[in-house]
Amino acid sequence: MQSGPLQIPAYAKINLTLEVIGRRDDGYHDVATILQTVDLSDTLTLEAAGALTVECDDPDLSGENNIVWQAAVALARHAGVAPEARIRIAKRIPSAAGLGGGSADAAAALRGLNRLWGLDLPPDELAAVAAGLGSDVPFLLTGGTALGTGRGDELAALPDLPAIEILLVAPADTIAAKTPTLYRALTPADFSDGRHTQRIAGVSAAGGPLTSADCRNAFERAALGIFPGLAGVWETVASLAQHPPRLSGAGPALFCRPSSESERRTVAVALRNRGATAYLVRTIAPSTSMPSTSAPSSSG
């Protein structure tokens, strides 16, 4: 069992492709997606305590409604232990942006609590707990590059992409019930059979070049009409970036691949009055996504 505090990075993801294939009998949708972790991250600090607390530097994300709380309770129930830990979250990933911030935090909590509580559960058991928390959580346990099918939680690892710089743009405004709203807004023209994603997965596995012009997201048409201000942000990025913007997940975050710091600065200046933040991030592999370190104890 871990004796001192742990610091666990929680890395964001982008969807290089996201095709929606059809509605399932269980009410969810079958998708085909290529998931990729990037080095924009939250940080979780975990330490032993006599009860479960979840604190965040964004007060709205503290407490029992945070998915990290749900992850701790689910893991404790699975392992037959008491859910006792103090978990602090330092947020950097924009919330509800299509970057998997909450899912990344949940995955980091599972990894950290597995160590803090001395459970030593194997990856397949952690993945089973993760699957009950959300479709992105199993992928974010390890990160890297993967093909997701089914609800997005049936994963097949792909060869690691090289460390490529990506322009990431996160508008400030999102909407309530984002994902179900976007699914309801899809029309038959937005559905596809997943072949594009399978082709891009093959290109990626063969080490071929891949830019955001090769990427696709079924939600883009709907998102441009639903998210406040997204169309203007999209037009600005498209006019300045070398490669076209693409939506990540259910949005509203956009990415352009590859990019550069000079391009990020240009886009950031152009967006300064639109309430959007421009980041330059890099793709990362599982060996980068998994580390945890001991942290100095804090009484604050």
Could you give the residue numbers annotated as active site? 13, 136
Q: Are the beta carbons of 141 and 110 closer than 8 angstroms?
A: yes
Three-class DSSP category at 94: coil
d(CA 84, CA 216): 42
Q: What is the largest CA-CA distance in the chain?
A: 55
Measured CA distances, 12 to 47, 93, 100, 106, 298 (Å): 23, 7, 6, 12, 26
Three-class DSSP category at 134: coil
Q: What are the residues facing 277 on neighbouring strands? A: 170
**How far is C-alpha 279 from the geometric centre of its chain's CA atoms?**
15
